[in-house]
Amino acid sequence: MHWHHDEHDHSHAPDEPHAPGAPEHGEEPLDAANQSLADALRASFRILKGIMMILVVLYLFSNVRSVDSSEQALVVRLGSLRPGVHEAGLTWALPFPIDEIVPLPTRKSNDLMIDAHTFHREQNEFGKSLAFISRSETEGLNPTLDGALLTADAGLVHLQWKVTYKIDDVRSYVSHILGKKVEAAEKLLRTMVENVGIKVASELTAEEIIRTRVDHVQTEMKRRLNERLTELQSGIAVTLVEIHEPTPPLQIREAFDDTQRAENAKQARIREAEQKRTKSLNEAAGAAHQRLVKVLDELERRTRDGSADAELLAERDRLLEHEVEGKAGQLIKDAGAYLSVAVGNMQSDVELYRTLLPEYERNPHVLLTRLWEQTKQEIFQAPGVIKFYRPPGSQIRLHIPLDPEQKRHDEALRLQGQTFDVKRLRPTRLVPLGPEAEE
Round to whole Å and give the CA distance between 366 and 359: 9
Do 331 and 319 share a domain, yes or no? Answer: no
- Minimal CA–CA distance to 165: which of 137, 152, 184? 184
Can you tell me the mean pLDDT for 246-273? 86
Round to whole Å and give the CA distance between 323 and 244: 51
At 279-313, the pLDDT tens digits run 888 888 888 888 888 888 888 888 888 777 788 88
Round to whole Å and give the CA distance between 373 and 362: 19
Residue 216 has what pLDDT?
Answer: 95
Q: By residue range, what is the domain housing residue 193?
A: 110-122+141-248
Do 159 and 227 share a domain, yes or no? Answer: yes
Q: Is the pLDDT of residue 117 over 80?
A: yes
Q: Is the pLDDT of residue 82 over 80?
A: no
Residue 405 has what pLDDT?
Answer: 85
Q: Which residue has the higher pLDDT, 250 or 10?
A: 250
pLDDT bucket at 439, cuts 50 / 70 / 90? very low
Round to whole Å and give the CA distance between 174 and 100: 13
Do 115 and 214 share a domain, yes or no? Answer: yes
Supply the Cα-derived Rg of the chain in whole angstroms.
Answer: 55
Residue 193 has what pLDDT?
Answer: 95
Q: Which residue has the higher pLDDT, 422 or 48?
A: 48
Round to whole Å and give the CA distance between 262 and 247: 17
Residue 6 has what pLDDT?
Answer: 44
Round to whole Å and give the CA distance between 315 and 309: 10
Round to whole Å and give the CA distance between 57 and 65: 16
Number of domains in the chain: 4
Mean pLDDT lowest for which of 116-125, 179-188, 411-420?
A: 411-420
User: To the nearest whole number, what is the mean pLDDT of the chain?
Assistant: 80
At 172-188, the pLDDT tens digits run 887 777 666 778 889 99
Q: Which residue has the higher pLDDT, 432 or 112?
A: 112
Residue 116 has what pLDDT?
Answer: 92
Do 159 and 213 share a domain, yes or no? Answer: yes
Do 199 and 269 share a domain, yes or no? Answer: no
Do 275 and 362 share a domain, yes or no? Answer: no
Do 169 and 285 share a domain, yes or no? Answer: no
Q: Is residue 7 part of a domain?
A: no
Residue 30 has what pLDDT?
Answer: 56
CA atoms within 13 A on the CB side of 147: 14
Q: Is residue 218 part of a domain?
A: yes
Residue 296 has what pLDDT?
Answer: 84
242 in the Ramachandran plot: left (φ > 0), alpha (ψ -120 to 50) or beta?
A: beta
Can you tell me the mean pLDDT for 61-79? 71
Q: Is the pLDDT of residue 217 over 90?
A: yes
- Minimal CA–CA distance to 61: which of 53, 69, 49, 50? 53
Round to whole Å and give the CA distance between 20 and 24: 10
Q: Is the pLDDT of residue 424 over 70?
A: no
